[in-house]
Amino acid sequence: MSRWGRKARPPPGFDYLEPTLAALEAELREKVNEGHEGKRKNESLWPVHQINWQRSRYIFDMFYRYEKISREVYEYCVQMKLVDAALAAKWKKPGYEKLCCTYAINTKNFKFGTTSICRVPKQVLNEGTVVEDANCGCRGCSSGDQGERNIFGNKYGQYLAGIQVRRERKQAKAAAAVAGVWAEGGGEEEDEEEGDEEAEGKEEGEEEGHGKRSGHDERTEGGPEMHIHKKVKA
C-alpha cells in the first residue's frame, strides 16, 4: 500500500505522481538528518523550503499546465499536504507565478513593511546586487522575462513536471518511429522471421539428445522520470 494511502485511499491516477513524490520524500528525509555544521541558522532549513516548493510546483504543473492528473488527484494531494495550498493559490495570480514562499510577501516579516529582496524585479536592482532570501535562499522569484528561471539556482529549482512530460514525449516519439519502421517493412521481416524459425526448429531437433537451449528474454523497462536530485537531471 502507498504510504500516502494510510489515511485515505489515493484516487485513480495518483500512481502517475507517486515515483517522483517518493523520491522527493526520501530527499527531504536525507536533508533533515544531515549535519548543519558551518551553515547559518536559516540556511540549514533552506532545503526543506525548497523541496516543499518543488513538490508543490510539480503537482501544480501536472494539473494546471499539462493536465496530466485529474482534479480529484490534485485535491487529494492538497488534502495530504503534498501541495502547499496557500502558495499554489498565489501562483494563479499575475505577478506571483514563480513565488518562492508566502513568507517572502508577508510585510509583517520585514522592516518598513516591505517584502523580501527576491521579489524585486532584476531590472530595477543595482548591478552586482546579491539576491538571496534569508528564509529560503530564493535568488529572485519576480515575474517577467528577466526573472530567474531557476529561482534557487540548484536542483530544487528545477521544474520536474516539465522534465517528466518532455521525456515522455521523447519516448513516445521514439516508439512511434520504431513502429513506423516495422509497418513499412513488415512483409519482408515476417518472411525472414519465418525462415529463421524453421532453421531454429531444425537445430533444436538435432540437439534434442543434448538438452534444450536456455532462452533468455531481455526487456528494458524505463524507470520513473522524475527521480530527481540524485536520480534526475535536467
Per-residue model confidence as pLDDT tens digits over 60-95 = 999 999 999 999 999 999 999 999 999 999 999 999
Q: Give the model's pLDDT for residue 188.
A: 47
Length of the chain measured in residues: 234
- The string of pLDDT tens digits covering residues 180-204 is 776 654 444 444 444 444 444 444 4
Mean of per-residue pLDDT scores for the chain = 80
Q: For the chain, where are the E strands, in sequence order?
A: none
pLDDT value at 170 more than 80: yes
Note the pLDDT of residue 104. Answer: 95
Would the pTM of this model clear 0.85, i.e. be above it?
no
Q: Report the share of the chain in percent with pLDDT over 70.
A: 74
Mean local confidence (pLDDT), 156-174: 95
Burial 175-214 (b: 16+ CB within 10 A, else e): eeeeeeeeeeeeeeeeeeeeeeeeeeeeeeeeeeeeeeee
Q: Has residue 228 got a pLDDT over 90? A: no
Look at residue 23 and tell me whether its pLDDT is greater than 70.
yes
Cα gap 128→124, rounded to integer Å: 12
